[in-house]
Copies of this chain bind each other. A is one copy, B any other.
Amino acid sequence: MAIQQKLSLMIPGPTPVPEKVLQALSKHPIGHRSKEFQDLVQSTTKNLQWLHQTQNDVLTITGSGTAAMEAGIINTLSRGDKVICGENGKFGERWVKVAKEFGLEVIKIDSEWGIPLDPEEFRKVLEEDKHKEIKAVILTHSETSTGVINDLETISSYIRKHNTALSIVDCVTSLGACNVPVDEWKLDIVASGSQKGYMIPPGLSFISMSQKAWEAAEKSNLPKFYLNLKSYKKSLQSNSNPYTPAVNLVFALDEALKMMREEGLDNIFRRHNKHKLAMSNAVKALNLKLFADEKYLSPSITAIKTEGMDAEEFRKTIKNNFDILLAGGQDHLKGKIFRVGHLGYVNDRDIITVVSAIGNTLLKMRKISAQQVGEALVVVSKYLEEK
């Protein structure tokens, strides 16, 4: 019997929100031009830089992650600019659409959904670009639609070698889940969203901009107003915003970032890695198949094939019986996969619970034996015990 109010969100966003953060959300708003709010902006900005491991500007936009990615593209590029777009999932596809909408010339580097992008292809295209015509490389780090993580570290090293191209990266489901050292990897533009590793509800997005990105912004001729990042940079100098920001979400952000600092980056990454391993190995023990290449599993989402079962029906059963919301497949994957989000405010118990729920459901469907359910839980415990 389901009690909807006690829903457990195991989707790749919105992710579960800690009680403290929910309480911060319900505080009475304050004036966004007040000293109190400026103090908040100062504190969140400092902690955002910590999370991004960067000295770059990190700007907060009221809007979804898509707004931040669009901002990255339209602020640094001009009509007709040649760019590489990596595409191996729904979000990669989206950035191709954005690039084309704004009149960019797109060189697509793609791979099948579920397969990581091949860094060698980036290397080749970048090396062959002798006249430095490629202005940017746009790609998705963790592909939320398929549970694949692309090898950003290697790809970004090739972008650095090219020297003039900017990196514009969707880190929406990687930032705050695994290591994204913006300064070390010299990532120029990194976009992320609040309802992911940040542990707060949707409505804010973030974008970090390197010095090189700001220099490119001086030359960009694409029209923009609400998403003109120069206005945000200028306002940030006085810890302010160009337009009224989502004040209550900023209260929540401040609280969540403090919790993240308390846990520490290494612990956060270790927790996500452990959950990824526990989840993916349990899936195999449950006689299910991973959708993504096992060597490139996202730290945040495990996508699971449901050969012979309707994934949407399966998700519905899990929701009705256990109050656990799983994500479905997108586009051509609808009905063929389901996705378990383990991103943000997720603890070991959540992982044990979701594996139990999936295991019990498969058992009732006579897809597996009780022994297999038990073995899957043993696998989970083994990975969870690792420090």
Contact in complex: A64, B243 (CB < 8 Å): yes
**In chain A, residues 38-92, which have Cβ atoms closer than 8 Å to a Cβ of chain B?**
62-67, 70
Contact in complex: A66, B17 (CB < 8 Å): no
Contact in complex: B14, A244 (CB < 8 Å): yes
| A330, closest chain B residue (CB) | B33
The stretch of A94-102, A175-183, A270-278 that contacts the partner chain = A94-102
Contact in complex: B226, A227 (CB < 8 Å): yes
**In chain A, residues 191-225, which have Cβ atoms closer than 8 Å to a Cβ of chain B?**
193, 195, 201-203, 222-225
The stretch of A3-11, A279-287, A296-304, A372-380 that contacts the partner chain = A3-11
A23: B residues at CB distance < 8 A = 26
Query: A321-358 CB contact bits vs B (8 Å, 1 = yes)?
Result: 00001011000000000000000000000000000000
Q: Does A13 contact B (CB under 8 A)?
A: yes
A101: B residues at CB distance < 8 A = 223-225, 228
The stretch of A114-122, A128-136, A153-161, A245-253 that contacts the partner chain = A245-253
Contact in complex: B225, A98 (CB < 8 Å): yes
Q: Does A107 contact B (CB under 8 A)?
A: no
Q: How many chain copies does the complex carry?
A: 2
A25: B residues at CB distance < 8 A = 25-26, 248
Q: Say which size band chain A's interface belongs to.
A: 35 or more
- Report the separation of the CA atoms of residues A97 and B243 in the bound assembly, to the nearest whole angstrom: 14
A74 CB, nearest partner CB in chain B, Å: 8
Contact in complex: B13, A28 (CB < 8 Å): no
| Contact flag A66-B243 (CB < 8 Å), given A9-B29, A29-B17, A225-B97 | yes
A62 contact from B27, B97, B102, B203, Cβ within 8 A:
B203
Query: A308-331 CB contact bits vs B (8 Å, 1 = yes)?
Result: 000000000000000001011000
A238 CB, nearest partner CB in chain B, Å: 14
- Report the separation of the CA atoms of residues A62 and B202 in the bound assembly, to the nearest whole angstrom: 9
A248 contact from B29, B193, B203, B245, Cβ within 8 A:
B203
Q: Does A359 contact B (CB under 8 A)?
A: no
A28 contact from B16, B33, B62, Cβ within 8 A:
B16
Query: A223-242 CB contact bits vs B (8 Å, 1 = yes)?
Result: 11111100000000000000
Q: Does A34 contact B (CB under 8 A)?
A: yes
| Contact flag A202-B28 (CB < 8 Å), given A222-B223, A225-B66 | no
A224 CB, nearest partner CB in chain B, Å: 7
Contact in complex: A201, B248 (CB < 8 Å): yes
Contact in complex: B247, A201 (CB < 8 Å): yes
- Report the separation of the CA atoms of residues A25 and B7 in the bound assembly, to the nearest whole angstrom: 16
Contact in complex: B203, A249 (CB < 8 Å): yes
- Report the separation of the CA atoms of residues A211 and B297 in the bound assembly, to the nearest whole angstrom: 47
Chosen A-B contacts, 18 in total, with CB atoms closer than 8 Å, are: A7-B30, A9-B31, A14-B244, A22-B28, A26-B26, A29-B201, A30-B325, A63-B63, A63-B67, A64-B243, A103-B223, A195-B247, A201-B246, A201-B247, A201-B248, A202-B247, A203-B247, A223-B223
Give 10 closest A-B pairs by Cβ, nearest first.
Answer: A203-B246, A26-B26, A14-B29, A64-B243, A201-B248, A22-B26, A202-B244, A67-B226, A66-B243, A29-B201
List chain A positions with a Cβ less than 8 A from chain B.
Answer: 4-5, 7, 9, 11, 13-14, 16-17, 22-23, 25-34, 36, 62-67, 70, 97-98, 101-103, 193, 195, 201-203, 222-228, 243-249, 325, 327-328
